[in-house]
Structure 1
Amino acid sequence: MWYGVYNVLLIIGFPFILCALLLKKRCRSGLLQRIGWIVPQGWGSQDHVLWVHAVSLGEVATIVPFVKTFHQRYPTTRIVVSTITETGREAVEQRLAGIATHCYLPLDYPWIVNRFIHALNPIGFLVVETELWPNLLRELSRRGVPSVILNGRLSSRSFLRYRWIRPFMCQVLSTVSLGLLQSVRDEQRFLELGASPDRMRHTGNMKFDLTMNGAHTSRPLIHRSTFGLSEDERLFIAGSTHPVEEEILLESYCAVSRAFPNVVLVLAPRHIERSDALAETVRSFGFPVVRRSRLPETGHQETVGPRVIILDTRGELAHAYGLAYMAFVGGTLVPVGGHNLLEPAAWGKPVCFGPHTDHCQEIADLLVESGGGIRVNNGQGLTETLMKGMQSQDWVSQMGLLVRKVIDDNQGVVERNVSMVEQVISFDEPRPPEEKRSGHS
């Protein structure tokens, strides 16, 4: 019954879904593939194919160490990584070049997912975090293809929504072979939705292991000269920021730059297509604007003194944090839920964030408990924290050591997850096409 209702709603909603995808610039690419007009050809006929789904840039970044580890162990297995957004595609092609092939995730209509599964013939399906597509998971289960939730989590908002349809979610989760979850809280939430206790495991957050794969183990790939900084200037980097939050940050920077004119603010908007609007906001506060994309290769530019650099390029934020004196992670002063707190922590930088950390609650708590993370309730709290940091370099250095220890103490998740996945997916031989077809009948 539940699947019937779900599919009727999908059919009724198709025009609206299509319009929504067309209106979102970052979701337009690959639309013909997503609606099943174009499907991968010949990928699964003879090869082992491991299908990994990661929604966008952040999820792709998380799975890079995992995918690389699998590729080293099973070099003959073809790894296909699907995404929904264009930024996700770019991340796959740049960070997993020569290791994984990209495709876009099909829309969750039975006839579309059937075509994709028939074309890929995967030996296993891994979904990153919480992309639970009922028809896709059910069809994979029917064909005997194991599905694994990798680095799984459930935000409070998603959990409350799913509780309204718990009988349906119980059916959906019954098609999942294994859930490898970020926290005890996530494990409890999946169990409350009806997941089998035998299939849910709290293994930790794979983002802790990003630093073990070259991301932050050496010098940053960009340098102070990239931003045209003088020797005595200090960078305060605010990453993955959102509207309203940016105004709070700029108000704090007004106060800090008056007392410490050698502080330069870097704003890295979560969505770089907002850079033009953000530049106007910055100018309204009276600060000169420097666009990273328009800086010469040498980084030399004539603007000096307090200024705001907008990081309007992709793929540089994680390394830019390595140049920071102090850092702030966005989506936390506004009710978004927070972004990757570990990127600046991996460089040993004090991490400031707001009260809205539902998407990264366990990590936020660990950082605060360590003494190296600073949770601020509002702009005034942020200003006071920045002032304290600018006055005491020793305090900043000590905070950096504490957050780095959190990273070191929580690594090893990728290896645990790889071992668990090996227990449910067979990498001995590829699935023959006739087995796939018979499983569907």
Structure 2
Amino acid sequence: MRQINFVRWFYTLSLYLLIPLIILRLLWRGLRAPAYWQRWSERFGFISSLPPHSLWIHAVSMGEVQAAIPLIQTLSNRFPHHPILVTTMTPTGSQRVKAVFAEQVWHVYLPYDLPDAVARFLKRTQPQLLILLETELWPNLLQACQQRLIPVILVNARLSAQSSAKYQRIAGFMRQILTSLVAIAAQTQVDANRFIELGVPATQIQVTGNIKFDSRSPAHYATQAKQLRHQCGNQRVIWIAASTHEGEEKLVLEAFSRLKAEIKALLLILVPRHPERFNRVALLCQQHGYLVSRRSQNQPCTAITDIYLGDTMGELPLLYAASDVAFVGGSLVPIGGHNLLEPAAAGLPIIVGTYVFECEEICRQLLAEQAGQQVHNTEQLVQAAKRYLIDAHLRQQAGEQGRWFVEKNQGALERVLSMIYAYIK
């Protein structure tokens, strides 16, 4: 116990000492994304008092918000008299909450995991329940909720092999953190086993599946996707490179150059992960000599457009629906990969890189279903994309395998909701 208390003390002291660096980081990020310069008081728990006894959902960034949309909508519809509070850590997550829910939910940034900031936040919100998505485990926040008898449920929980190995080094501390959760809804049995190895009682965990399987694109996306394809030229084949990071666009553009030499009608839809990089990626494409149309500026994608830059937020499912083959970024650089289920649900063959530790089980299953291919360098990326782009039958076959895989795994949302309902008064 003494060692556990020391780890918590050291963790908290380190956070306080890092505050100047955290503020400098916000200033630096604000140079590219000015939203990081706003609402700093919220990050330290200084918020207006909100309606008490809310159902509180924390989704760190835009990807988690997107996954939580059906969950939030269902809770809002089923419990119309309960305030819904959604917290995020990033401006992109905040923007997505506001775009989807407007005034339907309350939104603020989650404060940093400082005891005084957390206490201030909880005093002004007084939630009756906290629902955490994926692996958002903040020790001081969880301890404060436990002291105030606020039940905390971890849903869509995942634990990579890398994270599990790191947590094992402070196993006693992690056991104390994890046992403060009243329930864990794990994505897979592999995730559940890793939590159990860290000391979570098996009775506290239920394997519910991944709620991202239950995400639905708006019905009007199908019509908009057809219109976009018509604009770009109905005879063109479209390769989308989605959620790309620093360093990946260069590799994608090298591959595109080689593919374009053989497939004249090829169009690339390029969707960088972070909005602060949109302008730089647009410039990079232009420096390669390509004619670029930017969605954010309502520039039409025509039959002579080389690259359509998807530089808007929240429209990735629409752009997938307009495409033929998908490369999912964050996987050719050591980020760990992103959501593979969106392109699978759209019926696209999926190409991923080496680094998929953030979605390893989903990737393994999709590859086993022959719904895509994993590549390790630019040459393999070219060959995999070419294979799907020129062979319509293979493309359709792989796409249908991915779509079927998504459909057969749906139902996680209902299982998660049944766990949550037990804690709502």
Are 2:297 and 1:304 equivalent residues in the alignment? no
Deviation string, structure 1 residues 70-105 (Cα, Å, up to 9, x no partner)? 122211111100011111111111112343211110
SS at match of 2:102: coil
SS at match of 1:96: helix
SS at match of 2:202: coil
Indicate conservation of the 8 Å contact 2:352/2:374, yes or no: yes
**Superposed displacement of residue 339, structure 1:** 0.5
Structure 2 vs 1, CA of residues 387 and 8 (structure 1 numbering), >3 Å: closer, same or farther? closer
Are 2:184 and 1:184 equivalent residues in the alignment? no
Q: Which amino acid aligns with 2:86?
A: V
Give the one of 44, 57, 64 matched to 1:35. 44
Structure 2 vs 1, CA of residues 278 and 358 (structure 1 numbering), >3 Å: closer, same or farther? same
Could you say which residue in structure 2 is the equivalent of 1:390? 389
Could you say which residue in structure 2 is the equivalent of 1:282? 285
SS at match of 1:304: coil
Are 2:193 and 1:172 equivalent residues in the alignment? no
Indicate conservation of the 8 Å contact 1:29/1:86, yes or no: no
**Superposed displacement of residue 286, structure 1:** 2.9
Could you say which residue in structure 1 is the equivalent of 2:142? 137
For 1:311 and 1:300, locate their aligned partners in 2 and report how far apart those are by CA, in whole Å: 11
**Superposed displacement of residue 58, structure 1:** 0.5
Could you say which residue in structure 1 is the equivalent of 2:424? 426
Indicate conservation of the 8 Å contact 1:227/1:292, yes or no: no
For 2:209 and 2:417, locate their aligned partners in 1 and report how far apart those are by CA, in whole Å: 13
Could you say which residue in structure 1 is the equivalent of 2:256? 253
Could you say which residue in structure 2 is the equivalent of 1:430? none
Indicate conservation of the 8 Å contact 1:216/1:319, yes or no: no
For 1:287 and 1:219, locate their aligned partners in 2 and report how far apart those are by CA, in whole Å: 28
Indicate conservation of the 8 Å contact 1:35/1:106, yes or no: yes
SS at match of 1:287: coil
Q: Which amino acid aligns with 2:379?
A: Q
For 1:22 and 1:247, locate their aligned partners in 2 and report how far apart those are by CA, in whole Å: 27
SS at match of 2:201: coil
SS at match of 2:203: coil
Out of 236-245 and 284-293, give the one that drifted further: 284-293
Could you say which residue in structure 1 is the equivalent of 2:352? 353
Could you say which residue in structure 2 is the equivalent of 1:50? 55
TM-score by length of 2: 0.92
Indicate conservation of the 8 Å contact 2:158/2:186, yes or no: yes
Could you say which residue in structure 2 is the equivalent of 1:266? 269
Could you say which residue in structure 2 is the equivalent of 1:362? 361
Indicate conservation of the 8 Å contact 2:244/2:272, yes or no: yes
For 2:224 and 2:98, locate their aligned partners in 1 and report how far apart those are by CA, in whole Å: 19
Deviation string, structure 1 residues 295-326 (Cα, Å, up to 9, x no partner)? 34xx265x716x12221111111111001011
For 2:102 and 2:286, locate their aligned partners in 1 and report how far apart those are by CA, in whole Å: 39
Give the one of 105, 113, 134 matched to 1:108. 113
Could you say which residue in structure 2 is the equivalent of 1:438? none
- Percent identity at matched positions? 34
For 1:315 and 1:109, locate their aligned partners in 2 and report how far apart those are by CA, in whole Å: 31
Out of 389-398 and 265-274, give the one that drifted further: 389-398
**Superposed displacement of residue 393, structure 1:** 0.9
Higher relative contact order (CA 8 A, sep 6+): 1
Structure 2 vs 1, CA of residues 168 and 227 (structure 1 numbering), >3 Å: closer, same or farther? farther
Structure 2 vs 1, CA of residues 383 and 249 (structure 1 numbering), >3 Å: closer, same or farther? same
- Aligned structure 1 segments of 4 or more residues deviating by more than 4 angstroms: none
For 1:173 and 1:115, locate their aligned partners in 2 and report how far apart those are by CA, in whole Å: 23
**Superposed displacement of residue 226, structure 1:** 7.6
For 1:330 and 1:166, locate their aligned partners in 2 and report how far apart those are by CA, in whole Å: 32
**Superposed displacement of residue 237, structure 1:** 0.6
**Superposed displacement of residue 386, structure 1:** 2.0
Indicate conservation of the 8 Å contact 2:58/2:88, yes or no: yes
Could you say which residue in structure 2 is the equivalent of 1:291? 294
TM-score by length of 1: 0.89
For 2:218 and 2:338, locate their aligned partners in 1 and report how far apart those are by CA, in whole Å: 17
Give the one of 200, 209, 217 matched to 2:214. 209
SS at match of 1:255: helix
Indicate conservation of the 8 Å contact 1:220/1:322, yes or no: no
**Superposed displacement of residue 42, structure 1:** 4.1
Indicate conservation of the 8 Å contact 1:326/1:349, yes or no: yes
SS at match of 1:150: strand
Indicate conservation of the 8 Å contact 2:242/2:329, yes or no: yes
Could you say which residue in structure 2 is the equivalent of 1:403? 402
**Superposed displacement of residue 222, structure 1:** 4.6
Deviation string, structure 1 residues 378-412 (Cα, Å, up to 9, x no partner)? 22122112222232211111111111000110000
Could you say which residue in structure 2 is the equivalent of 1:433? none
Are 2:161 and 1:159 equivalent residues in the alignment? no
For 2:56 and 2:256, locate their aligned partners in 1 and report how far apart those are by CA, in whole Å: 45
Could you say which residue in structure 2 is the equivalent of 1:240? 243
SS at match of 1:117: helix
Indicate conservation of the 8 Å contact 1:355/1:376, yes or no: yes
Give the one of 101, 114, 123 matched to 1:118. 123
Indicate conservation of the 8 Å contact 2:351/2:385, yes or no: no
Deviation string, structure 1 residues 203-235 (Cα, Å, up to 9, x no partner)? 111100003xx4469615455448841221121
For 1:168 and 1:271, locate their aligned partners in 2 and report how far apart those are by CA, in whole Å: 33
Structure 2 vs 1, CA of residues 220 and 40 (structure 1 numbering), >3 Å: closer, same or farther? farther
**Superposed displacement of residue 254, structure 1:** 1.3
For 2:105 and 2:386, locate their aligned partners in 1 and report how far apart those are by CA, in whole Å: 46
SS at match of 2:222: coil
Could you say which residue in structure 2 is the equivalent of 1:439? none
Q: Which amino acid aligns with 1:394?
A: H
For 2:160 and 2:86, locate their aligned partners in 1 and report how far apart those are by CA, in whole Å: 24
The runs of 5 or more residues in structure 1 that have no matched partner are 428-441
Residue correspondences, number: 416
